[in-house]
Structure 1
């Protein structure tokens, strides 16, 4: 089978012919239908992600496909079942083996492409806004990076939860995508003063930040007393440094959220969240935005689309 594989520490990933994998105890094997790309995949390529596997490994954190074999001790999901799995690695391949207890059966109306674009982006935003920030109807939510993979889902879920949503993204085209997802107000990160624009709208109660850097600083200064700032990631490449005395004066909370971490210490939180999100999908209340679908032999180009910020929503790779 073919896989986009890193052979040794420090090596660049390449499309490689590998033996068909055999599922181990507690695992299922999937015939991969689609793999969603994430910023973390780029960090894994350089060894900078907090959960980078030891080489050799195949890139691709989240995958959708059809169960075609069971490992020892596994009886479910049944062979032939379509599922999505957050495996942390292994998705950029024609087949892969993943933990059976992470497999989420798919609704009949969900395509493999939608499923591969679903778990991390929607799961991150739902846990952040609901479980961590406890966003309330009528509050004002500022979403930075609002046209990106997680940012766009935060706009969508924020509106579903009854918030007034301010979307911040770079350029008119990306802002248009955020507006289609339900944003009430738009801020162009290339040309607008984020702090001034938010202040003119009455300030913000919750900040959703997958960007970091200068945008975090501007949003921090625009947050209302008792505001909550969700630190999701650092796509800018700069990790913010927070002055604790400023938190004290304004009674602010800065809250970290790493979705994958919950699978290790409190998986029921993820399970409950995904059940809610799948229900919303089946009811037509949410729909993944996928701007690029590329075949496996263009996996490097797909990752470059993500790196160069040419995408909106998600980038998905399919085996064919």
Structure 2
């Protein structure tokens, strides 16, 4: 079989022939139909992600496909079942073996491309807004990077939870996508003063930030008293320093969010969240946005779309 393999953090990954894996006890083997790309895949290739596996490895954190084989002790997932799995890595290949307890059965109406784009983006936003921030109806949610993979789902879920949503992105085209997902107010970060625009709209009660850098600093200064700030990631490459004295004066809370981390110490947070998100999808309340679907031979092009921020929503690699 073929897979996109990282053999060195200093060299570009390559599409190579690799052995067909066999499932270990507690694992399933999936014939992979689609794999969602994430910014963390870029970090993993450089060896800077917190969960980078040992070399050599196949990146690709989330997949959708068909159960092909079962390891010892696996029940409840028959061969042929349509599933999505967050495996952490191993998704950019024709087959992969993953823990069975991380697999979720797909709704009949959900395509493999949608399923591969679903878990991390929607899961991160739902856990952040519902579990960590306790977003309440009527509050103002400020979403930075609002047209990206996680940002766009934060706009959609925030609106569904009853918030007034301010979406920030670069350029009219990206802002239009955020508007279609439910944003009430739009701020072009290329041309506007984020702090002044948000303050003019009454300030932010919750800030969802996958960007970091100067945008974090501007959003921080536009927060209302008792606001909650959610650092999701640092796509800008700049991890901001937080002035603790300002937290004190305005009674602001900063709440870190690492969705995958819950699988290690409190997995029910993830499984309960995904169950609710899939219900919302089946009820027609969620509409995954995939801007690019590419074949396995074009993984490098897909990664460059993320790196250059030319994609919106998710980039998906279609494999089978």
TM range (shorter): over 0.9
1:23 and 1:29 in contact (8 A); partners too = yes
CA distance in 2, matches of 1:219, 1:74: 47
Q: 1:215 to 1:9 in 2, by over 3 A?
A: closer
Match of 1:278 in 2: 278
CA contact (8 A) 2:9 2:45 kept: no
Write the mapping of 1:193-232 to structure 2, written as runs, cut at 5 A: 193-232=193-232
TM-score (norm 1): 0.99
- 1:9 CA drift (Å): 5.1
Cα offset for 1:8?
4.2
2:50 alignment partner in structure 1: 50
Q: What is the aligned partner in structure 2 of residue 245 from structure 1?
A: 245
- Paired with 1:12 and 1:265, the residues of 2 have a C-alpha distance of 34
Shift of residue 73, structure 1, vs aligned partner:
1.7
In the TM superposition, structure 1's runs of 4+ consecutive aligned residues that sit over 2 Å from their partners are 7-12
The structural deviation recorded for 1:239 is 0.3
**Alignment of structure 1 residues 110-259 onto 2, 5 Å:** 110-259=110-259
Describe how 1:288-307 pairs up with structure 2 within 5 A: 288-307=288-307
1:81/1:247 Cα in 2 relative to 1: closer, same or farther (>3 Å)? same
Residue aligning to 1:316: 316
Contact 1:9 1:54 in 2 (8 A): no
TM-score (norm 2): 0.99
Report the Cα offset of residue 71 of structure 1. 1.0
Structure 1 alignment gaps of length 5 or more: none
1:75 Cα deviation from its structure 2 partner: 2.4
Report the 3-state secondary structure (helix = DSSP H, G, I; strand = E; otherwise coil) of the residue aligned with 2:143: strand
CA contact (8 A) 2:9 2:46 kept: no
Structure 2 matches for 1:61-76, cutoff 5 A?
Answer: 61-76=61-76
The 3-state SS of whatever aligns with 2:269 is: helix
The aligned length equals: 320
Deviations 1:261-295 (A, max 9, x none): 00000000000000000000000000110000000
Structure 1 CA distance, aligned partners of 2:227 and 2:120?
25
CA distance in 2, matches of 1:9, 1:258: 23
How far 1:84 sits from its partner (Å)? 0.4
